[in-house]
Amino acid sequence: MQLDQYVNTLGRDLKARFGGKIRKLTIDANFTCPNRDGTIGRGGCTFCNVDSFVAAQQQHLSITEQLVMRKQELKHRNIRYLAYFQAYSNTYAETSYLKRMYQQALASEDVVGICVGTRPDCVSDDVIEMLADYQRQGKEVWLELGLQSAHDQTLKRINRGHDFRCYQQTTERARQHNLKVCCHLIVGLPGENQGDYRQTLSQVIATGVDGLKLHPLHVVEGSAMARTWRSGRLQALTLPEYVEAAVDLIQRTPEHIVYHRVSAKARSDSLLAPEWCGDKWSAIVEITRRLALSGAQGSKQI
Ligand code: SF4
Q: What is the DSSP string of 236-280?
A: PPPHHHHHHHHHHHHHTS-TTSEEEES-----TTTEEE-GGGG-H
Query: Is residue 247 helix, strand or coil?
Result: helix
Ligand 1 atom with least separation from CA of 47 = 1
Question: What do you get for the CA distance between the two ends of the chain, in Å?
Answer: 25
| pLDDT the model gives residue 56 | 57
What confidence score (pLDDT) does residue 12 get? 97
CA of 45 to the centre of ligand 1 (A): 5
36 Cα: distance to centroid of ligand 1 (angstroms): 7
DSSP 8-state secondary structure symbol assigned to residue 102: H
Question: Per DSSP, what are the bridge partners of residue 81?
Answer: 23, 111
pLDDT of residue 53: 55
Per-residue confidence (pLDDT) for residue 49, from 0 to 100: 86
CA distance 128 to 181: 11
Q: Does the N-terminal peptide bond of residue 216 adopt cis geometry, omega within 30 degrees of 0?
A: no
Residue type at position 249: L
Dmax over CA atoms of the chain, in Å, equals 52
Length of the chain: 302
**Cβ-contact 105, 133 below 8 angstroms:** no
Ligand 1 neighbour 161 (Cβ under 6 A)? no
Confirm or reject: Cβ of 33 under 6 Å from ligand 1.
yes
* Ligand 1 close to Cβ of residue 155 (< 6 A): no
Query: What is the position in ligand 1's atom list of the atom closest to the CA of 43?
Result: 5
Distance CA 191, CA 189 (A): 6
Residue 301 CA: distances (Å) to CA of 27, 50, 134: 37, 35, 35
- Stretch among 53-57, 136-140, 246-250 having the lowest mean pLDDT: 53-57
Lowest mean pLDDT among 24-33, 50-59, 107-116, 242-251: 50-59
User: What pLDDT score does 78 carry?
Assistant: 74
Q: In whole angstroms, give the CA distance from residue 227 to residue 294.
A: 38
140-151 confidence digits (pLDDT tens): 999 999 999 999
Tell whether the model's pLDDT for residue 132 goes beyond 70: yes
Residues 6+ apart with CB under 8 A from 68: none
- The span from the CA of 28 to the CA of 104, in Å, is 13
Look up the CATH superfamily of 3-294: Aldolase class I (3.20.20.70)
pLDDT of residue 59: 64
What would the pLDDT profile of 185-244 be if each residue is shown by its tens digit? 999 999 999 999 999 999 999 999 999 999 999 999 999 999 999 999 999 999 999 999
Ligand 1 and 35: CB distance under 6 A: yes
50 close to ligand 1 (CB < 6 Angstrom) = yes
Instruction: Measure the CA–CA gap between 209 and 143, rounded to whole angstroms.
Output: 11
Nearest CA to ligand 1 atom 2: 88
Residue nearest to atom 5 of ligand 1 (CA): 44
Report the mean per-residue pLDDT for the chain: 95
The residues, any chain, with a CB within 8 Å of residue 85's CB and separated by 6 or more, are: 27, 29, 31, 101, 102, 105, 114, 115, 116, 117
Q: What is the pLDDT of residue 36?
A: 92
User: Is any ligand 1 atom within 6 A of the Cβ of residue 130?
Assistant: no
Q: Is the pLDDT of residue 278 over 70?
A: yes
45-101 confidence digits (pLDDT tens): 999 986 665 555 566 799 999 999 999 888 777 799 999 999 899 999 999 999 999
